Amino acid sequence: MVNKMVNKLQKKLTDRQEKVLSAIRKFVLENGYSPTVRQLGEALDIVNPSAVFKHILSLEKKGYLERARGEMRLAGFPDPVESQVRVPLVGLVPAGRPKEVFDVSDEAMEIPEWMVGRRKGNVFCIHVDGKSMVDAYIDDGDWVLVERTNSANSGEMVVTLLDDGSVTLKRLKMKDGDISLVPENPEFEPIKVKELKILGRVIGILRKY
């Protein structure tokens, strides 16, 4: 069955409709799903949800998107799982006791583009070795997507370089000047650090069953 959007004649957009369509595309690329009316309004600085919805209806009538089951689907926009990007693989990073294993290889992994979004070129993939993060649904053997950054917020999962040169994957906790790298497994102890050297923060998990 041919998708009905393909057969719709796309009419010329006004400048305002172009901005709305661009905002929807940007949101989908960065998040992997379509925005709600309220989220789209925030992106466009439009307070009235009815005004946002009118723009959505106009784009639908002109064949640029369709609505189904409460979500917007962009015409001609590839299904996220069909669009892939290559992400470099980096040596084993323990989710357990720190190890000195953070080597860049020549290998890469195909990742759904929606998981990377506009971070493309700034993301790498690590193979987890250890079980200290199992309560955060990161298990031994999982592949974890990491965004390169030297900063993160308290509560985020990060890959960090310790003073002894070892690397570990833990949840960052900062309170009253104290910095801890906290495991998500009661069998492991938190690691307290004086200086935080962040290599990246976790943005996604890949697993084969």
pTM higher than 0.75 for the full model? no
170 is a domain residue: yes
42 is a domain residue: yes
pLDDT at 181: 94
Tell whether 45 and 121 lie within a shared domain: no
Mean pLDDT over each residue of the chain, to the nearest integer: 81
Tell whether 46 and 134 lie within a shared domain: no
Note down the domain range covering 195. 84-206
pLDDT at 78: 52
117 is a domain residue: yes
Tell whether 100 and 152 lie within a shared domain: yes
7 is a domain residue: no
**97-128 residue pLDDT tens:** 777 656 666 678 887 777 777 777 788 888 88
Total tally of structural domains belonging to the chain: 2
Tell whether 72 and 92 lie within a shared domain: no
Tell whether 51 and 150 lie within a shared domain: no
Token couple for 64? 């640029």
**53-78 residue pLDDT tens:** 899 888 888 888 887 656 677 776 55
Which residues belong to the active site?
132, 170
Tell whether 105 and 56 lie within a shared domain: no
Question: Which is more confidently placed, 197 or 113?
Answer: 197
Tell whether 49 and 127 lie within a shared domain: no
pLDDT at 34: 79
